[in-house]
A = this chain, B = another copy of it.
Amino acid sequence: MIGLDLGGTSMMAIALSHQGRMIAARRRSTRPSLGPDGVTERVAKTIQRLLKDLGKTARFVLGIGIGAPGVVDHRKGIVTYAPNLGWRDYPLAKNLQSYLDLPVIIDNDVNGGAVGEYVLGAGRGSRNLVALFIGTGIGGGIILKKKLYHGSYGRAGELGHIKILPDGPICGCGQRGCAEGLASRTAMERDIRQAIASGRPSIIPSIMEQSGRDRMTSSVIQEALHKKDVLMQEIIQQAQKNLGLLVASIVNFIDPDCVVIGGGVTDRLGESFLQPIREIATQHFLRQSSLEQIAIVPAQLAGHAGGIGSAILAWQRLEKVQIGKPGRR
């Protein structure tokens, strides 16, 4: 199967063997300015090149799964609403299929990531899992009773818009109090820029200048922490506190046995980022819950989770196979 994670800035296509191994991958920029049809053509070309890369193995590819950013009607194959791409009610599955001689299914990109981590990553062997991805935004995917849970209108898992501070800063959704407006990488960058503008000393601007970046990427965060920048440490601690509360709310709500935390910052910083989140979350669990029962673990598939999970979803829907094989965590 082939899975493609369609992001606002880049797309990542991967080929997954029947044994669950990633046997090929291709990355390309997305360029939303091309419009929905232009982006779809680019998606098709990326997949065609990946099929070419596979050579003779390409004949084992039985279908394509796409993970799209935003609200997706997975039954109809329509991207209902994707603000990062500027799409509304776009029939991605149908239009993509006109380029390819293979069946296409689509789902939300973060749902793909959750399925990837559940079947082949950090969530193997769990029963009820929540995957939380922290990047420019905060997204989530929910596996319940070993199945991807979509909700009533395909919008389940908007964990970035759980409210954790009523009068907090305004989030990208236009409201105050969202976890995303407090603890996403975008929120951290906003707070750092404000602090620097108000005269706080920090080596972050010089790190960004040296690396030639104009955004505070995960690698900038990593370097600033490595060099013990006090402002960066404060901002990360604040994010960890808020993420700990978010994880506690998730656990108290849905009682999962596994919470997977992924996204750029987690992938870079690993356990040093995760451990404080885990500690704060545990303090806020109800008495009977304990870390022995609930694994709070870093994602394992990094930037490939969405593509891998989308391939698995294609498998599941096109071949009617069980989503998760039993496995050990």
Q: A residues near B, CB below 8 A?
A: 71, 80-81, 127-128, 140, 142, 144, 149-159, 161-166, 173, 175, 177, 241-242, 245-246, 248-250, 252-257, 283-284, 286-289, 293-294
Contact = CB atoms under 8 A, between A and B. Distances in A.
A255 B152 contact: yes
A169 to B, nearest CB: 14
Nearest to A149: B144
Given A144-B144, A152-B256, A164-B164, A158 B286 contact: yes
A11 to B, nearest CB: 23
Nearest to A257: B152
Nearest to A258: B152
A260 to B, nearest CB: 14
Nearest to A126: B152
Contact of A161 (B150, B164, B252): B252
A252 B178 CA distance: 10
A153 B291 CA distance: 12
Nearest to A158: B252
28 contacts: A80-B288, A127-B152, A142-B254, A144-B149, A152-B257, A152-B293, A152-B294, A155-B252, A157-B255, A158-B253, A158-B286, A159-B253, A161-B248, A161-B249, A161-B252, A162-B162, A162-B253, A163-B245, A163-B246, A163-B284, A164-B164, A165-B166, A166-B245, A173-B286, A173-B287, A175-B284, A249-B249, A253-B253
Contacts of A249: 161-163, 249
A185 B232 CA distance: 41
B293 A153 contact: yes
Nearest to A144: B144
Contacts of A81: 287-288
B127 A288 contact: no
A120 B35 CA distance: 49
A182 to B, nearest CB: 10
Contacts of A161: 248-249, 252, 284, 286
Nearest to A71: B288
A156 to B, nearest CB: 4
Contacts of A294: 152
Nearest to A167: B165
Contacts of A245: 163, 166, 177
B163 A166 contact: no
A255 B165 contact: no
Nearest to A174: B287
A288 B248 CA distance: 26
B253 A157 contact: yes
Nearest to A246: B163
Contacts of A255: 150-158
Contact of A163 (B152, B155, B248, B288): B248
A68 B302 CA distance: 43
A234 to B, nearest CB: 16
A241 B286 contact: no
B253 A156 contact: yes
Contacts of A71: 288
